[in-house]
Structure 1
Amino acid sequence: MKDQAGGLGKRLLRVRGRPRRARESAYSWQLVVLTVSVGAFMGQLDSSIVTIAYPSLEREFGAPLATVQWVSLAYLLVTTALMVTVGHMSDLLGRKSVYLRGFALFTLASAACSLAPDLAALVCFRVVQALGAAMISANSVALVTVAAPRERLRGALGFQAAGQALGLAVGPTLGGVLVATVGWRWVFWINVPVGVAAMIMGYYLLPPTDRRATGARFDLPGTAWLASGAAAMLGGVSAFSGLPLPGWAGAVLIVASAVLWWGFVRREGRAAEPLVSTRLMRDRRVAWGLLGALAGYLVLFGPLVLVPLALVRHTGADEMRVGLLLGPLAVGFALAANAQEAVLPKAWPSRRRCMAGALLALVALAGSALAVPRDLWLIVWLGVLGLGLGLFTPSNNEMVMSSVPEEHSGTGGGMINMTRSLGTALGVALVTLTYHLDSDHTWDSVLPLLPVLVLVLGALLMALSAAAGGRAGSPSDPGS
């Protein structure tokens, strides 16, 4: 039996072309999108499912919230730092190969997380898990971009984005059920059977990489600058959020973060093979699109952490009810991401769709800031916010990826996912800081964050408007 299991593992990791039946199927590219969406679902599920376990982790390990949040931040920090590097690696070595090995590592690390004896070990295992998640996520957009027909790309990316949204929203509800019934360790055990199923799907349904980038090297110094800058920034915010560090340490970390980010920008401008392609970033659609990805996921993930904290502590709501209240956010996202092609005029370019989505999300945030904390108001405004972000995200991704050459699509997809992860990490950190600053831990702890999110979206609207004067539209984006 052991030899049979080992043989199965080797076969799964030995990357070959798809079986003829899958390759010649009329639904060939849809099967690729479905398979990749499973990975997108799992990556975001694992980001959001952990937040519901924070109180249990605080009790079991006797640690404050500012320390427990690093179970999430360590995961997000590693994915942020490695996303572009891993995407670049997949351009060189093959996306299917990197994707399958990433799922294998993610699944094994999930099992290790469920067995962690203390908080330090759990954070370490989460770092390993994040490496696997980076190998999965960095390839998701690229695999969809290469597989889908150009005229169907926006819809395909919408389906993949809907998988991410579903993972984000199911996480709190599923986490609440698992924590309440079988304990927090099962929020990691649940990844194991799904991971095995996803590996089997990927082995049989994903195509190998036909065109690969050549002659390139990894920008390890750039990765170090990026990781150090992000870690210092998140560490500084955590220090002001209750992490057991002296006050001056937080200020030092924030200053160090600014210096490290400056060094990263300088390094990328001089590097022969930069981590963040300066050639790609010269395209306004790519540059502003990456800013949009960061802003969109900060706005999306903030409520997923903030609403449970505010409601559980203020109203005594149980985790199950809070998870259900967050459902409209994901439902709205999924509906807008998948139905926009059928509802909106086909002549609308991606830039206009981004503008409409950002404006709708801006209205939802403004309404939320004035809303009374009642279930009906939350359902309405979170649903509207989901619609806006679901309209914005796939159009934003299409705007970026249509400007990236196919042989560098892994790098482009990695850049999108890197900024998403950074936006998600900022959402976690800012929510924790807001919660810490409000000593009463009431619903009013929501309000200080909402103006920040409004300003982010306002800046995003201006950025997209400025991008209108940039690069001429591609065939897939008429009228840009």
Structure 2
Amino acid sequence: MVFSLNRLLQEPAPLAALERQSWHPWLVVGLVSIGAFVGQLDATIVQLALPALGRAFGAPLQQVSWVALSYLLAFASFLPIFGRLCEIHGRKTLYIAGYSLFISASALCALAESFGQLVAFRFLQGMGGALLGANSIAILVQAVPEAARGRALGYFAAAQAVGMSAGPALGGFIVEALGWRWIFGLTVPFGVLAILAGWLALPRGAVGGEKPAFDWGGALLIGPALILLVATLNHVSSWGLASPLTLASLCVAALLLWALRRREAHTAAPLIDPRLFTASAFRWGVLGVVLGYALLYGVFFLMSFGLAHGYGESAREAGLRLALVPVALGLTAPFSHAVRAVLGRWIGPVGMACALAGLAMLWLTFGRSPDHHIWDTVSFLLIGFGLGLFVAPNSTATLAAVSAGLAGAAGSLLNLMRVLGTSLGVAAGASVLTWRLKVETGSARDWLASDGAGLLAAVRTSLPLLALMALIAAFAAQRAAGATRR
């Protein structure tokens, strides 16, 4: 059986005529950048479509949020597992398998006939996304000469930023013009082309060397722990904060995380290296990463419902407005290191102060001002600008806190924490919006039955949760930067 698996995973050689070309490494960069673009596009495009999906299936907030959460949790749960399997068995074949799974699941999502089917297919799509995410940077680094890697990684990061920025606007146009099924179906033909090009152009993985062991215990613990934690946060407003179900779920999640920590501390090849957490700067930086992305996707979740159902804007108009956040983030991030040279360890708090100003403006004007379009635009720009100042410097300080030998493990963990933060932002947004909707309307009516004014008030009074995230993230980033300097 092992022999058969090894033959199945044997990597095909790239086309010799392509491999001889001087531009072959940049073809590889383009292919993995397309994967990065598609991954970020999918993460943001679905956020804008959630109200349309909720109406199509008659789903309450805490159910419709699972369209996003099932993908994100599958991605987070399988990312470290697939990363290790790719180290053992090679990257090219598994990267192509990831594309195949991603586009197959995308097609199934487009054809889903029930809400349960859609959530299940989104989970499969997240597994495919995890296979792509576990391999992309490693394939890029192997293919490109060291002198050109900085430029190649810049293109890769730019593709991610463009995908994140295009998602809301493109999603709005597609939902309005073609319907929600096409946000999944349109990725299929591009994925087929990427599979064919990848088969012909991607290099084989490095051969030789000792293969790392696989941590089966960690693999069995990490997924259930993350899923149970996020599911509890997503449903806490309907279960009740002190209900037996909430408390039992939190206790089981804590037990699984404790068992994972013990397992990783006593295994020779852990999925998550516990040595990373010995540095306080790394611990604080990781907290900042989680909260920064939770803030970003919490804004996406709340505002997609506020704009589409509260104000009754078209999907196209809401998508264009929401796109201001990632566009401002993407335009600001490249200059954040220059700003960091001036502000030093205070760049994180300054960035989050900008985001807090945007949240405060939304809290004062959302659903209250006749000029809300102007105020919303300024608010979204401030939030995106603040996150652009925050994300890259905080990640840099976090990575600088560990030794060079742990840099690869630290980078993989930061990718995991970004996805976990995204999941927590969606779950927290769904739970607090459900709670505030009950308070504002004085009933247990679902969002579909509530009027626009009630939903706008619920969205506005949910914003203090995001402000709390920003405050804690600012403190964490300042501590990470300060500890790194010492």
Asked whether the two chains share a fold, i.e. TM above 0.5, the reply is yes
Corresponding position of 1:364:
355
Aligned twin of 2:455: 441
Tell me by how many angstroms 1:367 deviates: 3.4
* Number of the residue aligned with 2:470: 454
- The residue identity in structure 1 corresponding to 2:115 is L
SS of equivalent to 2:455: coil
Partner of 2:12: 15
- Asked if structure 1 preserves the Cα contact closer than 8 Å seen for 2:348 and 2:394, the reply is no
The answer for the alignment partner of 1:132 in structure 2 is: 128
Aligned-partner Cα distance in 2 for 1:211–1:64: 51
- Kept in 2: contact 1:296–1:389 (CA 8 A): yes
Question: Counterpart of 2:484?
Answer: 468
**TM-fit CA distance, 1:168:** 2.7
Q: Does 1:176 align with 2:192?
A: no
Say if 1:359 and 1:461, in contact at 8 Å, map to a contact too: no
Distance in 2 (alpha carbons) for counterparts of 1:145 and 1:381: 38
Change (3 A) 1:421 1:399: same
CA displacement 1:120-166 (0-9 Å, x = unmatched): 22222122111111000122333344455667656644443332233
CA distance in 1, matches of 2:79, 2:238: 29
SS in 1 for 2:463: coil
Query: Residues 220 and 272 (structure 1 numbering): CA distance in 2 closer, same or farther, change over 3 Å?
Result: same
- Within 5 Å, which residues of 2 pair with 1:1-80? 15-17=12-14, 19=16, 21=18, 24-25=21-22, 29-80=25-76
Write the deviation string for residues 310-343 of structure 1: whole angstroms up to 9, x where unpaired.
22233222221111112222222322344567xx
* Aligned pairs (5 A) from 1:112-191: 112-147=108-143, 156-191=152-187
Shift of 1:244: 11
For 1:224, the equivalent position in structure 2 comes to 220
- Cα distance in 2, alignment partners of residues 216 and 425 from structure 1: 30
Asked if the contact 1:297/1:420 (under 8 Å) is kept, the reply is yes
- Quote the Cα distance in structure 2 between the aligned partners of 1:283 and 1:154: 27
Q: Distance in 2 between matches of 1:215 and 1:200?
A: 28
Correspondence for 2:95: 99
Mapped to 1, the partners of 2:463 and 2:66 lie a distance apart of 24
Q: Post-superposition shift, 1:103?
A: 0.6
1:240 is paired with a residue of what secondary structure? helix
Specify whether residues 348 and 162 from structure 1 end up closer, same or farther in structure 2 by C-alpha distance, changes over 3 A only: same
> Match for residue 273 of structure 1?
269
Aligned amino acid, residue 427 of structure 2: A
Match of 1:319 among 300, 315, 320: 315
* Residue in 2 that maps onto 1:476: none
Mapped to 2, the partners of 1:91 and 1:148 lie a distance apart of 18
Closer, same or farther: CA 405–468 of 1 in aligned 2, 3 Å = closer
Give the letter aligned to residue 326 of structure 2.
A
Q: Distance in 1 between matches of 2:200 and 2:239?
A: 46
Q: Which amino acid aligns with 1:457?
A: A
Q: TM-score, normalised by structure 1?
A: 0.82
Whether the 8 Å contact between 2:228 and 2:253 is mirrored in structure 1 is yes
Question: Residue 158 of structure 1 contacts residue 394 of structure 1 at CA under 8 Å; is this kept in 2?
Answer: no
Structure 1 position 282, deviation (Å): 4.2
TM-score by length of 2: 0.81
**Equivalent residue letter for 1:456:** I
Q: State the AA in 1 paired with 2:351.
A: L
Q: CA 1:456 to 1:55, structure 2 compared with 1: closer, same or farther past 3 Å?
A: same
Report how far residue 195 of structure 1 moved: 1.1
Q: Distance in 1 between matches of 2:265 and 2:15?
A: 40
Cα distance between partner residues in 2 of 1:209 and 1:406: 21
Aligned counterpart in structure 1 of residue 425 of structure 2, from 427, 430, 455: 427
Distance 1:92 1:48 in 2: 32
Q: How many residues align?
A: 454
Classify 1:270/1:44 alpha carbon distance in 2 versus 1 (closer, same or farther; 3 Å): same
Kindly provide the amino acid, as one letter, of the partner of residue 105 in structure 1: L
Deviations 1:294-325 (A, max 9, x none): 23322222222221112223322222111111
RMSD: 3.5
Counterpart of 2:246? 250
CA distance in 2, matches of 1:356, 1:444: 27
1:107–1:196 CA contact under 8 A, matched in 2? yes
Output the CA distance in 2 between the equivalents of 1:255 and 1:407.
Answer: 31
Q: 1:385 aligns with which of 378, 383, 386?
A: 383
Note the C-alpha offset of 1:219.
1.7
| Matches of 2:158 and 2:112, distance apart in 1 | 32
User: Larger helix proportion, structure 1 or 2?
Assistant: 2
CA distances 1:265-288 after superposition (whole Å, capped 9, x unpaired):
222112222110124444666555
Match of 1:9?
none
Q: Distance in 1 between matches of 2:290 and 2:152?
A: 21
- SS of match in other structure, 1:214: coil
Percent identity reads 33
Structure-2 separation of matches of 1:246 and 1:17: 58
